Amino acid sequence: MTNQLITRNRSVKTMSDPTLYDDELLLWSEQQAAAIRKLGRRGRNVPNELDIENVAEEIESVGRSELAAAKSHIRLVFLDLIKLFVEAGSEAPPHWRGEIVAFHSEIVGRYAPSMRQRIDVDELWRSAREQSLLAYEGA
């Protein structure tokens, strides 16, 4: 794992850069957890009562949670797009368009470049399509 990140504007960010937490929470959480584990392996000046592994795991979970939220919102956009297509003649499309805009806004707010390799858009599309097929099967 690297301790630098090249951002969209090509500047270099390091773990000590305060904006890494704001811009790349997933990467920040992984880097911080690795640093804590490294500190624990050294064992110098680390209090015995500090639960290094669980602290590192909790910090990593913050980043994983952001990734899961981004994936979820992408899948929700796909679900509403399918609804728009399937039920184009109904009265609901304005509602679904509004949801798509809201979900997209959530994606934009949570998405970070470090997530790109970890989000399988094809799998999210298949999941949304499968869920929609099951929902419309009984209709």
Mean pLDDT (whole number) for 119-135: 96
Where do the H-state alpha helices sit in 11-90? 18-23, 25-42, 52-86
CA distance 97 to 91: 12
Specify the pLDDT at position 94: 93
How far, CA to CA in Å, does 12 sit from each of 28, 32, 79, 113?
14, 17, 37, 13
Tens digits of residue pLDDT in 7-56: 444 344 555 566 788 899 999 999 999 999 999 888 777 887 889 999 99
